Amino acid sequence: MTANAGGPRTVSKAETDDHRSEPTEDDAPLGSPRVADPVIKSRDLDVYYGDEQALHGIQMEIPERKVTALIGPSGCGKSTFLRSINRMNDLIDIARVEGDLRFHGKNVYDEDVDPVALRRKIGMVFQKPNPFPKSIYDNVAYGLRVQGKDDDVDEQVHTALERAALLDEVEDQLDSSGLDLSGGQQQRLCIARAIAPDPEVILMDEPASALDPVATSKIEDLVEELAEEYTVVIVTHNMQQAARISDKTAVFLTGGHLVEFDDTNKIFENPESERVEDYITGKFG
């Protein structure tokens, strides 16, 4: 915990009276429910790629053990925001992050935070399934091994596969290559790999966008179940998916602004912002 972690919010630029006005840079999004005990809290988060600013003053509080969906048109910065949570943006040379992103109150961009340690607490699942060219078993065990959690690997691998709803399908072929699985199975394998070392948060960047409807619905069921134990942040292009599986929804709009963030029901039934309503009803985006 750093000194100002629990301090009062800066009110100077954010709070305006007129709630229907569109937010300007650095504004809190419309909605912005109070989240008791947020796991992740971003304040005035700006991300730049070179000279291009991809995110503008993002304010968001992500609740524990809930599914938070990030939606918005292509290029609005959803993936960028997701990657700034576990500092995967560090791997992009030209990316630069300013502002605060707090995990349990600690700014993950502080000098004394090791991004490797951070990623051990915040796992990630990518858009395209990316299993290693290793056996199913070794894929799931990989996180355990790099993190040195390698006593009782067998049991942890089985638990992870079970939680990822994959164990029944692969139980007797754990030694065969992860690449021999179907796309949907590969994605669940990647989910198993992400949860095996038991992180607190799982970030998912359009985990079902490369999958057929059946595989997609399996992933959706899985996400809901995962939220019983983990905090899930999921990017999706699919409105129905966001509506079905998430508790909170954040709507980013073009230019990298978080326009509205609220309970999913509220966003889909009665959004504050007209632009969000237009986007959700498919008028643009």
Partner 1 sequence: MSTSNPFAEGTEDIARKRLIGRVFVAICFASTLVGIVALVALIVDVLYESWGWVTWEFLTYPPSQVIENFLPGGRGAGIYPAIVGSIFLIALTAVFTVFLGVGAAVYLEEYAGDNWLTSFIEANIANLAGVPSIVYGLLGLAIFVRGIQLGSSLIAGALTLTLLILPIVIVSTQEALRAVPDSQRQAAYGVGATQWQVIRDVVLPRALPGIMTGTILSLSRAIGETAPILMVGAATSLFVAPDGLTSPFSAMPMMIFEWATLPEPEFQHVAAAGIVVLLTILLLMNAIAIFIRNRYDPRS
Ligand X SMILES: Nc1ncnc2c1ncn2[C@@H]1O[C@H](COP(=O)(O)OP(=O)(O)OP(=O)(O)O)[C@@H](O)[C@H]1O
CB of 250 to ligand X, least distance (A): 11
**Among 97-105, 122-130, 242-250, 260-268, the segment contacting partner 1 (CB under 8 A):** 122-130
Nearer to partner 1, 149 or 244 (CB): 149
CB proximity list for 182: less than 8 A, separation 6 or greater: 215
DSSP character at residue 179: G
CB 62 within 8 A of CB 104: no
Instruction: Assess contact for 70 and 265: CB atoms under 8 A.
Output: no
Residues 197, 249, 113, 36, Cα dihedral to 10°: -90
Stretch that binds ligand X, among 70-78, 107-115, 148-156, 212-220 (CB under 6 A): 70-78
Choices 24-32, 102-110, 112-120, 227-235; region in contact with partner 1 by CB under 8 A: 112-120
45 binds, among partner 1, Mg ion, ligand X, none (CB under 5 to 8 A by kind): none
Buried/exposed 149-167: b ≥16 CB within 10 Å, e otherwise: beeebeebbbbbbebbbbb
CA dihedral 109, 112, 116, 117 (to 10 degrees): -110
77-96 mask for ligand X (x: CB under 6 A)?
A: xxxx-----------x-x--
5-13, 21-29, 104-112, 186-194 -> range binding partner 1 (CB under 8 A): 186-194
The answer to the question of residue 128 lying near ligand X (CB under 6 A) is no
Residues 63-82 that bind Mg ion (CB under 5 A): 79
Q: Is 197 in the site for partner 1 (CB under 8 A)?
A: yes
Does 49 participate in binding ligand X (rule CB under 6 A)? yes
**Contact present, 38 and 139 (Cβ < 8 Å):** no
Residue 78 CA to residue 61 CA, distance in Å, equals 15
Q: Which of 132, 224, 238, 255 binds partner 1 (CB under 8 A)?
A: 132
> Restricting to residues 94-113, which ones interact with ligand X according to CB under 6 A?
94
Place of tokens 């790629």: 49
**Which residue's structure tokens are 């912002």?**
273
Q: Does 89 bind Mg ion (CB under 5 A)?
A: no
Are 244 and 272 spatial neighbours (Cβ–Cβ below 8 Å)?
A: no
HSE of 233 in the Cβ direction (CA atoms, 13 Å)? 28
Query: 71-90: which residues touch partner 1 (CB under 8 A)?
Result: 86, 88
For residue 106, the surrounding DSSP H or E stretch is strand 106-107
Chain residues binding partner 1 by CB under 8 A are 86, 88, 91, 93, 116-117, 119-120, 123-126, 128, 130-134, 142-143, 146-147, 179, 190, 193-194, 196-197
Chain residues binding ligand X by CB under 6 A are 49, 54, 72, 74-80, 92, 94
